[in-house]
Structure 1
Amino acid sequence: MRLLRSTDLALRVLMQLAVADAAAIPTTRDVAAAVSAPYTHVAKVVAELQRMGLVDARRGRGGGLTLTEKGRTASVGGVMRAFEGVTEVVECEGATPCPLSSDCRLRGALRRAQEAFFASLDPITIADMVAVPAGPTLLQIGRVAP
């Protein structure tokens, strides 16, 4: 299984915000630099995270991104489901439909495996993801030496 780029970015943005210094609220550009991703991609992900209530984004002077309490306690599996959507693991229809589609057992098995993957991540929160040793390392990522 391969995750969408937006899912990967969403998790990295949430983790970066979870360790952000409250005195120096990062902007979308700061977070994009920290996670080594294009600003436009990160901006789209931040907009979705804000819509989900996981991130608070404020514009203008004194603005920036902060992680909400809901974001801190968000389930990694839940965030992944929201970004990945519930899609089929294999393409059974389309231009050349599979001749087994009416009697196939593979599609159901793969769907159950996909759900088991997400379910295994449900108990893990964003806060769990930034616990030691990851948190201190995240603080160093994207920092520019003085």
Structure 2
Amino acid sequence: MRITYARGMRLLRSTDLALRVLMRLAVADATPTTRQVAADMDVPYTHAAKVVAELQHLGLVDARRGRGGGLALTERGRTASVGAVVRTFEGEGDVVDCEGTQGTPACPLRAGCRLRGALRGAQEAFFAALDSVTIADLVAEPTGPLLLGISRGPGPL
């Protein structure tokens, strides 16, 4: 058996950034730009821009261009399930590749192996544990004030 990816409980950087952007916007008293968010989070602007574009596509963030523009959390973003956000960014693919890809052989145990099902169950339990948590829940006391205090970029966030 060949494992193609086994992140376990480790999130992709884009998932982590998406959650942090949503949390920061949930407590923002102004509308920061994507550049300000990238600077505050110490990530490349291009990475932040991709994540913000996906969050906007999902209806979780409102992004306005030009003078007076910036990012704002939508009501849908405030009440979004953390599990749903993580599923979207992580994907729900299998943890192991039993079929083989790109010239690698399929696992010889795939017809009778129980590992794939066990790992899929563990992955779903991970997502399910996050389903009842909302972005608003994540920024409840004492987190919200802490988020406001760590802004490093130019302008308010």
TM-score by length of 2: 0.87
- Counterpart of 2:16 in structure 1: which amino acid? D
Tell me by how many angstroms 1:97 deviates.
Answer: 2.1
- Counterpart of 1:112 in structure 2: which amino acid? G
- Counterpart of 1:7 in structure 2: which amino acid? T
Give distance in 1, aligned partners of 2:106 and 2:56. Answer: 39
Greater shift, 132-141 or 43-52, is seen at: 132-141
Q: Cα deviations across residues 92-143 of structure 1 (Å, max 9, x unaligned)?
A: 2231321101111110111011001000000000000011111111101123
- Counterpart of 2:116 in structure 1: which amino acid? R
Give distance in 1, aligned partners of 2:153 and 2:95. Answer: 41
Residue number in structure 1 paired with 2:84: 78
Give distance in 2, aligned partners of 1:120 and 1:129. Answer: 14
- Counterpart of 1:96 in structure 2: which amino acid? P
Q: Is the 8 A contact 2:36 2:153 kept in 1?
A: no
Q: Is the 8 A contact 2:40 2:151 kept in 1?
A: yes
Question: Residue 84 of structure 2: SS of its match in structure 1?
Answer: helix
Question: Residue 66 of structure 1: SS of its match in structure 2?
Answer: strand
- Structure 1 ranges of 4+ moved more than 6 A: none
Q: 1:86 to 1:117 in 2, by over 3 A?
A: same
Choose between structure 1 and 2 for higher RCO, CA contacts under 8 A separated by at least 6 residues. 2
Aligned ranges for residues 1-146 of structure 1 at < 5 Å?
1=8, 2-21=10-29, 24-92=30-98, 93-94=100-101, 95-143=104-152
- Counterpart of 1:90 in structure 2: which amino acid? V
List alignment gaps of at least 5 residues for structure 1. none
TM-score by length of 1: 0.93
Question: Residue 65 of structure 1: SS of its match in structure 2?
Answer: strand
RMSD over aligned Cα atoms: 1.3
Number of corresponding residues: 143
- Counterpart of 1:43 in structure 2: which amino acid? A
